[in-house]
Amino acid sequence: MNDLLKIFLSAMLIDNVVLIRFIALCPFIGMSADVKKSVGMSGAVLFVTVLATATTWPMYMYVLKPMHLEFLQILTFILVIASLVQLVEFYLKKSAPALYGAMGVYLTLITTNCAILAVTFDVIAKGYGFAESLTYAVGVASGFTLSLVLLAGIRERIKIAPVPPFLKGTPILFVAAALLSMSFGGFAGMIK
């Protein structure tokens, strides 16, 4: 239990996907225009990350590894994720239209979200078991949520703040991200 908590916290705070590891920057910049949108996107990411990890981990361990097909890892993982996203989209459209309305638009964007592919690769590279992998997936997705919502909040302040003219627009976002990243650097060393 203690180990799982450690994995969760270090995935969420210490090795925050966006701010420390620079993964999934495109949605971080593109989707943080307002808080509501960023929450929708984060929900979709959490859902798909966990689902994708739960599918690709057994697949690697029980299909690719016994058959010595490890070199097909990239190809199979991305295909699994892409088709999974499609399936989820169909399923939600049919049986949970309310939920689909809330995160449908984000689902299509998610296939090219690096965080998901990165998680599925990470858990294999780190040699995690199944439960550890799922915990790690939830941790990474929560870290993504945290940073996205934080940046969205900052962006709403930036709108009314006096920004130096040469930093107007996107540059100021990256400066804000740098400051956020610096504060997340403070978590380093929290868990040994």
Euclidean distance between CA atoms 159 and 40, whole angstroms: 21
Whole-number minimum distance, CB 8 to other proteins, in Å? 19
DSSP one-letter string for 122-156: HHHHTT--HHHHHHHHHHHHHHHHHHHHHHHHHHH
Give Cβ neighbours of residue 125 (< 8 Å, ≥ 6 apart): none
Q: Are 185 and 20 in contact (CB under 8 A)?
A: yes
Give Cβ neighbours of residue 30 (< 8 Å, ≥ 6 apart): none
Nearer to other proteins, 66 or 166 (CB): 166
Closest by CA position to 19, among listed 146, 171, 161:
146
Whole-number minimum distance, CB 165 to other proteins, in Å? 10
Nearer to other proteins, 55 or 181 (CB): 181
Nearer to other proteins, 98 or 159 (CB): 159
Whole-number minimum distance, CB 160 to other proteins, in Å? 20
Whole-number minimum distance, CB 29 to other proteins, in Å? 6
Nearer to other proteins, 102 or 153 (CB): 153
Please report, as ranges, the residues that interact with other proteins according to CB under 8 A. Answer: 19-26, 29-30, 71-75, 77-79, 82-83, 111-114, 117-118, 121-122, 125, 166-167, 169-175, 177-179, 181-182, 185
